[in-house]
């Protein structure tokens, strides 16, 4: 069973049949592909991308369809099982999935672009992780993540504002599970760390810069068509403190 990535397969079936919301049509996917298009002026020949914590491979396969050499890394067997279904259904020569902890990224070489969606806020040492990403990214990093709000969140149970790795943020309790089989069933959570450190928005921007990306931006068009409502009180961006951050090496 696919839990989140609704992928239109070449045989016309969807991985989540009851839903019409395809990942290829999502605001996030459109926004990310616009950025990559801008970066390479639409010429993706020979360009590689790695999708960290790729879940069911929905974004990974979209990058491959764009023509990039696309690798998804996912730690959970349950999720990799679905990625392998996607891999075999599409049978694209430029798409592969690896089951491993994303902290082992350096084992798999250097990529032109590193895509890190829904993972940074599941880690306990985000700055160290970003440093590793920078060592593996030739051109750019794209990060879609929650950030620690500067007010007490009504949506997430977070600690007060503290510092970790020299950056401000809040701790988030993930789970208290040691058994790997049980952990595998919680498809969307952290893996080995039981609590995660959510960086503040300004700390994310600082960290991207500090680790070696000299162009640092936040992209907002994934919130279209109504950016104002998303960023106003009660809107998704404001209530869920989630953004799309980009770093480029130039
Ligand atoms: C919230 S989901 C996000 C999935 C997907 N990237 C997206 O944006 O839709 C977090 C994903 O990261 C994976 N994950 C968590 N910790 C990981 C780690 N240390 N290494 C690799 N994958 C991890 C989870 O299994 C899950 O698939």
Delineate the domains of the chain, giving CATH numbers in brackets. Answer: 24-248 (3.40.50.150)
Give the number of the atom of ligand 1 that is nearest the alpha carbon of residue 102.
Answer: 20
188 CB less than 6 Å from ligand 1? Answer: yes
75 CB less than 6 Å from ligand 1? Answer: yes
Single pTM value for the model? 0.98
**Cα–ligand 1 centroid distance for 30 (angstroms):** 20
**Cα–ligand 1 centroid distance for 189 (angstroms):** 7
118 CB less than 6 Å from ligand 1? Answer: yes
pLDDT for 52: 99
Which of 16, 75, 101, 107 best tests ligand 1's pocket when mutated (most atoms within 8 Å of CB)? 75
**Cα–ligand 1 centroid distance for 85 (angstroms):** 18
Residue owning the nearest CA to atom 15 of ligand 1: 190
Q: Are strands 242-248 and 167-173 parallel, antiparallel or unpaired?
A: unpaired
Exposure of 23 by Cβ count < 10 A (0-12 exposed, 13-18 middle, 19+ buried)?
buried
Residue owning the nearest CA to atom 23 of ligand 1: 53
pLDDT digits (tens, 9 = 90+) for 154-202: 999 999 999 999 999 999 999 999 999 999 999 999 999 999 999 999 9
Question: Phi and psi for 43 in degrees, rounded to 5?
Answer: -100, 95
The rounded distance, in Å, linking the Cα atoms of 92 and 108 is 19
Q: Which residue has the tokens 């993540």?
A: 145
The rounded distance, in Å, linking the Cα atoms of 6 and 16 is 5
Residue owning the nearest CA to atom 14 of ligand 1: 53
Mean pLDDT taken over the chain: 97
Distance (Å) of CA 85 to CA 1, 30, 82, 122: 11, 24, 5, 25
Alpha helices by DSSP H, listed for the chain, are 27-40, 58-66, 77-90, 126-136, 180-185, 201-210, 227-231, 236-240
Which of 50, 55, 197 best tests ligand 1's pocket when mutated (most atoms within 8 Å of CB)? 55
Give the number of the atom of ligand 1 that is nearest the alpha carbon of residue 192.
Answer: 19
pLDDT for 66: 97
pLDDT digits (tens, 9 = 90+) for 87-140: 999 999 999 999 999 999 999 999 999 999 999 999 999 999 999 999 999 999
The alpha carbon dihedral of 178, 204, 116, 210 has a sign of negative
pLDDT for 68: 98
The rounded distance, in Å, linking the Cα atoms of 213 and 206 is 10
**Cα–ligand 1 centroid distance for 55 (angstroms):** 5
Distance (Å) of CA 181 to CA 104, 122, 195: 21, 19, 19
The arithmetic mean of pLDDT across residues 54-79, rounded, is: 98
**Cα–ligand 1 centroid distance for 52 (angstroms):** 7
């Amino acid at each position: 069973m696919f839990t989140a990535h609704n992928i239109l397969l070449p045989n016309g079936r969807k991985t989540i049949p009851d839903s019409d919301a395809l990942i290829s049509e999502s605001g996030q996917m459109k926004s990310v592909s616009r950025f990559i298009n801008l970066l390479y002026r639409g010429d993706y020949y020979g360009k590689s991308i790695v999708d960290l914590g790729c879940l069911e491979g929905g974004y990974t396969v979209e990058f491959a369809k764009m023509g990039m050499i696309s690798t998804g890394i996912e730690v959970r067997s349950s999720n990799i099982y679905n990625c392998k279904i996607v891999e075999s259904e599409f049978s694209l020569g430029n798409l592969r999935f690896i089951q491993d902890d994303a902290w082992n990224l350096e084992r798999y070489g250097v990529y032109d672009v590193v895509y890190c969606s829904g993972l940074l806020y599941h880690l306990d040492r985000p700055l160290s992780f970003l440093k590793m990403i920078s060592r593996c990214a030739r051109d750019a990093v794209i990060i879609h993540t929650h950030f620690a709000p500067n007010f007490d969140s009504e949506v997430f149970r977070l600690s007060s504002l503290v510092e970790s790795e020299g950056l401000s943020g809040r701790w988030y309790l993930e789970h208290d599970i040691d058994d790997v089989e049980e952990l595998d069933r919680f498809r969307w959570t952290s893996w080995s760390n039981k609590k995660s450190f959510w960086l503040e928005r300004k700390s994310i921007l600082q960290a991207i810069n500090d680790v070696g990306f000299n162009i640092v931006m936040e992209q907002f068009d994934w919130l279209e068509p109504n950016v104002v409502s998303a960023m106003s009180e009660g809107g998704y961006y404001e209530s869920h403190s989630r953004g799309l951050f980009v770093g480029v090496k130039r």
